[in-house]
Structure 1
Amino acid sequence: MKRKTFDLRPWARVTQSTQTALAVPGYVIVDFMAQTVVRPLEVTRPESTSCHLILDNGYRWIRCHPTGTGEGVMGAALTVQLNAAGQPVQFYVDIHGGEGVYEDGLPWHDDLYLDVVGDPDDEDRWTVAATEIIDADELDDAVEAGLVTPTLAAQTWEHARQIEAQLRAGSYPPVDVLRRYVEDPYT
């Protein structure tokens, strides 16, 4: 596993940005706004060969990071990418093997390589219409390198499938947390 911190400020694609972290019950929300982007980012949509833009001027990446489970506990953290109009363009869930928050308020997680990507519905942008589990090759490489046990890899796959099912069913709680935050960030 590799420990990652959700801090996008040093991102080379973005030359001007703001980032805030807010603790709410059960989560830390990190709100990154890319004001000036020198290299926009497009990715392939789940269940499709078409691409869509997930980073450009005025886009926000908002992380809903769970708190309180600590090291060694499998979990997941959601990042929603919003376009300049404030509408979701992608849901991205990191599967992790432990989490925490540094003294500066920024969250960290022990990455288990698999991620679940969700594509918003065209009518209701806060509803996930399509999903895909990505980076299986990275998990396989980690198992081969001895960084992740085969048992943990199987558990990671199971957890990713559960998150994917919740996203498709509209029952993944962090989506509602971020939706409420975006609609009224001070409540």
Structure 2
Amino acid sequence: MLKRKYGSRYDWKRIVDRRYAEQYISTTQFTGYVTLLEMDNVAAPLFMTYKGRGVCIANKGYSWLQHFPDGEQFSVTTVFDSTGQIVQWYIDICRENGYCLTNGPWMDDLFLDLIILPSGEIIEKDIDELEEALNSQLISDDEFALAWAEFDRIKTLAAQNRFELLGLTKEHLLILKGEQS
């Protein structure tokens, strides 16, 4: 069974105090749910290491804006630091996005991920997990092929600076904070 991830991160114990908002946005540029998780207090900061560099992705004052586009096989989480600067875009390749009345928008993770740093650097992640999922029959051959096709498509768009959703993150952040309609 695939891991279902919710935008609310309702089960994430690291966040001690939080604010959460979600909104369905339908424009010519984007249609789907967008969630905002604001971390008012955390039990401990969360650091990831990318090519030998430590990058903080969760800490007091940080925000995660997550896009769940309708009919797509990806979800994008934009990490903002406490000053409102983008730390990274984390793109989960997924089987589908959906909505649950109790916990909000979700996606079924297909393991492959892309991380895009503000410098434009693209980092590939969890290739081994996808292969392991196929070998253990957690996913089908079709899901394996879907994950790779979507991964390659988004990676190409990002490398060409044509993955347009990244350009909407600050605008959508303002919408969810109620600063723009």
Same fold by TM-score, threshold 0.5 exceeded?
A: yes
Deviation (angstroms), 1:104: 4.4
Deviation (angstroms), 1:57: 0.6
What's the secondary structure of 2:149's corresponding residue? helix
Counterpart of 1:119 in structure 2 is 117
TM-score, length-normalised on structure 1?
0.85
CA 1:107–1:158 in 2, change beyond 3 Å: closer, same or farther? same
Letter in 1 for 2:54: C
Asked whether the equivalents of residues 116 and 133 of structure 1 are also in contact (C-alpha less than 8 Å), the reply is yes
Letter in 2 for 1:103: L
Letter in 2 for 1:27: G
Q: Which of the residues 82, 101, 108 maps onto 1:103?
A: 101
Letter in 2 for 1:33: E
Counterpart of 2:150 in structure 1 is 159
Any unmatched runs of 5+ in structure 1?
122-128
Q: Deviations over 1:139-160 (max 9, x none)?
A: 1111111121234313311211
Moved more, 159-168 or 101-110: 101-110
Any unmatched runs of 5+ in structure 2?
none
Asked whether the equivalents of residues 38 and 62 of structure 2 are also in contact (C-alpha less than 8 Å), the reply is yes
CA distance in 2, matches of 1:177, 1:28: 13
Q: Over aligned residue pairs, what C-alpha RMSD do you find?
A: 1.7
Deviation (angstroms), 1:161: 1.7
Q: Which of the residues 89, 92, 114 maps onto 2:90?
A: 92
Find out whether 1:12 has 2:13 as its counterpart. Answer: yes
Deviation (angstroms), 1:49: 1.4
Asked whether the equivalents of residues 27 and 64 of structure 1 are also in contact (C-alpha less than 8 Å), the reply is yes
Matches within 5 A, 1:49-60: 49-60=52-63
CA distance in 2, matches of 1:104, 1:176: 30
